Amino acid sequence: MQMLTKIPKQFYYFLAVIFILNLLQSSFTQLIFDEAYYWYYSQNMAWGYFDHPPMVALLVKISSFFFNGELGVRFMSCILSAVNIILLWLMIDNPKKNDYIKHFFVLVFSMTLLNAYGFFTLPDTPLLFFTSCFLLTYKHFIKNPTWGLAIIMGVFMAALMYSKYHAVLVIFFVLLSNLKLTTSKYAWLAVIVALCCYVPHFYWLYENDFVSIKYHLYERPNGAYSFEKYTLGFFVNLVAIFGLTFPFVYKALFKTKGNDLFNKALIYLTYGVLIFFFVSSFNRRVQTQWIIIVCIPVIVIAFNYMLNNKQALTWIFRLGLVNTVLIIYLRIGLAYQPLLFNFYYESHGNKEWAKAIEDEVGDIPVVFENSYRNAPMYAFYTNGTPTFSLNNFMYRKNQYSINDAEEQVRGKDVAYVSKYLNNPTFTYTRESGGLYKGKYISNFQSYRKLDCIIENDEVTLNTDEPLTLKVYNPYKEDIDLKKLKFAITYMDDYKHPLETLRIHPKTTQNTITRLKKQDTTVFKFQLPKTKKENIGYFRVVISENDLLYGLNGKPISVK
């Protein structure tokens, strides 16, 4: 508390302006799709979700206690971003800093994505905040380790991991910068506290068959390596996160030496994350937000460098002001699309298309084919209308694959929205160019949780050997086999579908006509012959009631 009272009033004036700006932005900007998805998380709080740990859902839930609408999703992000700026300021020890408050705020505000996460509610929002909490605690810990600081640091380590799995990089590279921590009883206490706090999420992962880990490590679709899209794209991201100030920001990083343990931690964290994702760029496209975590240590490094280098101070301030003007323009454009001329971002028009579909279908549930984005967005802007994302073999699994959303629409009369419809009953075209095609289905029945299990890790392509298929029915009702069609989807090395061929599995008992509820039925089948080349995987898929085939089996490698 004493540290806060030493902060000049001018600092709080700048902070208040940014906080109010973020509140206004939050109120007048429609949700982006990921925010709607995380709002959907928050409607059923849990210790984990398909794609991410639960911290982002908790932020949305807390925000909803204070406000409705968009601000009811983003309020806590505005709070965290304001506090985060204070934490960053407290990490800087230079006695000259109080004379350069406006320079500090220009540096912070000019960082593009850090600016956006001042109001957007995404997993990176708490990740950035708890990184600052962790680093500031670590700064005090290395000066005077105590049991109390160890416990606090352990809590922040757990909070980091509850925010996003990438947080493991923060913890690892800070540890790597000071290997003597491995012999510190206080550091080990911090680790034990973190693990104890994280037990609920570990248990959730166990209960859900480690679905998040499997998806991120093994099942996430990828593409063939492209230097332009992957590695060159990574370097473009390095520029994008800092905008016009990037030459001087990186110069500050290169010039800064790890003369003490805290600066060494900042340097290791920055270089470690950048090198990790540079190497990753040879395997997959690195998204810009994946490297945003380096903004936290770089702000401290760059501002300390500015205070000791007049040229850097002048140029970062000037270029930062240009960044700031551009960012304010773009932020207004997020809320008011005509300012961006013909450019439509995902924060534009969502309320309008949701209302148009609602006017057409009324208050009946809506099933969106292959869209964990549209389903929650529609639910948000229609005050919680039941929705479901029916994921087929051309898409990927998501939160709708593991929760009870399917049960909320089963047996109901629904509006079915899919780009694959040939004869839609109704259509709606978004101003951005997206087309929604829909029809009505009475007594909607889907069984997307049917689990097809093949215990082979690898199978020979075009083999004549029969394979064993186990189908687990998790539902509380028997399922008539006549309602189901089985097929094999062949995929390339990057798990993109190439061909889907029908199969006719046989049971050992020809009298079996139904999949027994919450039971496993064993079949035999042969892989259908294919002339497709470059096949890397196959999966068993099921179509129920003539819907498009689902994602029922895991990818099996072929040779």
Tell me the per-residue pLDDT of 344-374, one tens digit each, with 9 for 90 and over. 899 999 999 999 999 999 999 999 999 999 9
Q: How far is 26 from 30, CA to CA, in rounded Å?
A: 8
CB-based burial label for 420 (10 Å; 0-12, 13-18, 19+): exposed
Do 494 and 224 contact (CB within 8 A), yes or no?
yes
Helix, strand or coil, per DSSP, at residue 487: strand
Q: Say which residue the tokens 């075009």 belong to.
A: 462
Q: How far is 196 from 152, CA to CA, in rounded Å?
A: 13
Q: Say which residue the tokens 């850097």 belong to.
A: 312
Q: How far is 81 from 116, CA to CA, in rounded Å?
A: 10
Q: How many other C-beta atoms can be found within 10 angstroms of the C-beta atom of residue 210?
A: 13
Q: Report the pLDDT value the prediction gives residue 219, as an integer from 0 to 100.
A: 72
As a whole-number percent, the residues of the chain with pLDDT over 70 amount to 99
Q: How many other C-beta atoms can be found within 10 angstroms of the C-beta atom of residue 424?
A: 16
Q: Report, as an integer, the average pLDDT of 50-65.
A: 97
Do 513 and 507 contact (CB within 8 A), yes or no?
no
Contacts 24+ apart (CB under 8 A), 134-139: 134/160, 134/170, 134/171, 134/174, 135/91, 135/174, 135/262, 135/265, 135/266, 135/269, 135/296, 135/297, 136/87, 136/90, 136/91, 138/174, 138/262, 138/265, 139/91, 139/262
Check: CATH 3.40.50.920 for 451-558? Answer: no
Q: How far is 488 from 526, CA to CA, in rounded Å?
A: 10
Q: Is the pLDDT of residue 411 over 70?
A: yes
Q: Is the pLDDT of residue 220 over 80?
A: no
Q: Report the pLDDT value the prediction gives residue 434, as an integer from 0 to 100.
A: 80
Do 406 and 388 contact (CB within 8 A), yes or no?
yes
Q: Report, as an integer, the average pLDDT of 5-16.
A: 92
Residue 1 vs residue 515, higher pLDDT = 515
Q: Report, as an integer, the average pLDDT of 150-157.
A: 98
* Region at 518 (left for phi over 0; alpha for psi -120 to 50; beta for the rest): left
Q: Is the pLDDT of residue 100 over 90?
A: yes
Q: How far is 56 from 40, CA to CA, in rounded Å?
A: 11
490, HSE (Cβ side, Cα atoms, 13 Å): 22
Do 72 and 282 contact (CB within 8 A), yes or no?
no
Residue 215 vs residue 392, higher pLDDT = 392
Q: Report, as an integer, the average pLDDT of 211-220.
A: 82
Element (H, E) at 54: none
Q: Report the pLDDT value the prediction gives residue 1, as an integer from 0 to 100.
A: 53
Q: Tokens in use for 12?
A: 């709080």
Helix, strand or coil, per DSSP, at residue 456: coil
pLDDT tier, 340 (very low <50, low <70, confident <90, very high otherwise):
confident
**Beta-carbon contacts of residue 139 (< 8 Å; ≥ 6 apart):** 91, 262
Q: What values do phi and psi take at 63, rounded to 5? A: -60, -40
| Mean pLDDT of the chain, nearest integer | 93
Do 30 and 350 contact (CB within 8 A), yes or no?
yes
Do 545 and 416 contact (CB within 8 A), yes or no?
no
238, HSE (Cβ side, Cα atoms, 13 Å): 19
Q: Report the pLDDT value the prediction gives residue 166, as an integer from 0 to 100.
A: 92
Q: Report the pLDDT value the prediction gives residue 198, as an integer from 0 to 100.
A: 97
Q: Tokens in use for 410?
A: 């089963």
**What are the tens digits of pLDDT across the range 482-499?**
999 999 999 998 899 999
Reading across the β-sheet that carries 467-473, which strands appear in turn?
Answer: 451-453, 467-473, 519-525, 506-507
Q: Report, as an integer, the average pLDDT of 6-30.
A: 95
**What are the tens digits of pLDDT across the range 288-330?**
889 999 999 999 999 999 999 999 999 999 999 999 999 999 9
Q: Report the pLDDT value the prediction gives residue 3, as an integer from 0 to 100.
A: 64
Q: Report the pLDDT value the prediction gives residue 524, as an integer from 0 to 100.
A: 93
Q: Considering only 219-228, 236-245, 348-357, 406-415, which range has the smallest mean pLDDT?
A: 219-228
Q: What is the three-state SS of 375-442?
A: HHHHHHHCCCCCEEEECCCCCCCCHHHCCCHHHHHCCCCEEEECCCCCCCCEEEECCCCCEEEEEEEC
Do 121 and 163 contact (CB within 8 A), yes or no?
no
Q: Is the pLDDT of residue 519 over 90?
A: yes
Q: Report, as an integer, the average pLDDT of 260-265.
A: 96
DSSP string, 136-162: HHHHHHHHS--HHHHHHHHHHHHHHHH
DSSP 473: E
Q: Report, as an integer, the average pLDDT of 110-139.
A: 95
As a whole-number percent, the residues of the chain with pLDDT over 90 amount to 84
List the chain domain ranges.
2-211+223-337, 350-441, 451-558
**What are the tens digits of pLDDT across the range 422-465?**
889 999 888 877 888 999 999 999 999 999 999 988 999 988 88
DSSP 447: -
Q: Report the pLDDT value the prediction gives residue 5, as an integer from 0 to 100.
A: 63
